[in-house]
Amino acid sequence: MASTNDLKNGMVLNIDGQLWSVVEFQHVKPGKGPAFVRTKLKAVLSGKVVDKTFNAGTKVETANVDKRDMQYLYKDGSDFVFMDGSTYDQIHVSEDIVGKSADFMLENQEAIVATHDGVPLYVELPASVVLEITYTEPGLQGDRSTGGTKPATLETGAQIAVPLFLETGTKVKVDTRDGSYLGRVN
């Protein structure tokens, strides 16, 4: 248990049996009446964001979320298998929990796996990854970086939009949060 005065960004709370991550919080002390804490909470499993207000000093139940650096090993049916590099323990994470991160994961890649009581909650990739383009339409003479974009298939099977001048076999840096092209890598 913790007090609402102890809230921090990223802290995970257990409210009515659901896990909520604190996105932002603000202590408010109006001129009249008791102080309160205004928070923005994000549901850990669904990603839904809600605003919730607590009276100052109210006790809230915190959840123990274990975040570990793990290595993605391979896909086993609909599960992704991750290994803890320090203990060599392997954990199976379902496709639903991995979600869009699967579009940017290669075997042996590092990721952060968050668990609560041994149950995987989510997988967090680095902000950007370097992947190779396995197929895109050939560039034409005169295509420059300021022009439009074209679809390209990455080695993970994901499709992103890249500038017209890029060709198959080029390594590119991709933002894992929104799948946007960040630049070419030599």
pLDDT of residue 122: 83
Are both 15 and 43 inside the same structural domain? yes
Phi/psi at 95 (5° precision): -55, -40
Phi/psi at 127 (5° precision): -60, -30
pLDDT of residue 159: 92
- DSSP-derived letter for residue 96 is H
Of the three residues 16, 35, 60, the one that is the final residue of a domain is 60
pLDDT of residue 118: 82
Residues of the chain below pLDDT 50: none
Domain that holds residue 169: 128-185
Give this prediction's pTM: 0.70
Of the three residues 82, 109, 124, the one that is the final residue of a domain is 124
Of the three residues 60, 94, 109, the one that is the final residue of a domain is 60
Residue type, 110: E
Are both 150 and 165 inside the same structural domain? yes
Are both 47 and 76 inside the same structural domain? no
Are both 120 and 137 inside the same structural domain? no
Task: Output the domain CATH number for residue 95.
Answer: 2.40.50.140
Query: CB neighbours of 30 closer than 8 A, spacing ≥ 6?
Result: none
Query: CB neighbours of 81 closer than 8 A, spacing ≥ 6?
Result: 72, 73, 74, 75, 90, 91, 92, 93
Are both 103 and 91 inside the same structural domain? yes
Among 127, 126, 125, 120, smallest CA distance to 44 is for 120
Q: Do 152 and 165 contact (CB within 8 A), yes or no?
A: no
What are the b/e assignments for 70-108, b being 16+ CB within 10 Å?
bbbeeeeeebbbbbeeeeeeebebeeebbeebbbbbeee
- Number of domains forming the structure of the chain: 3
Task: Output the domain CATH number for residue 23.
Answer: 2.30.30.30
pLDDT of residue 7: 87
Are both 79 and 94 inside the same structural domain? yes
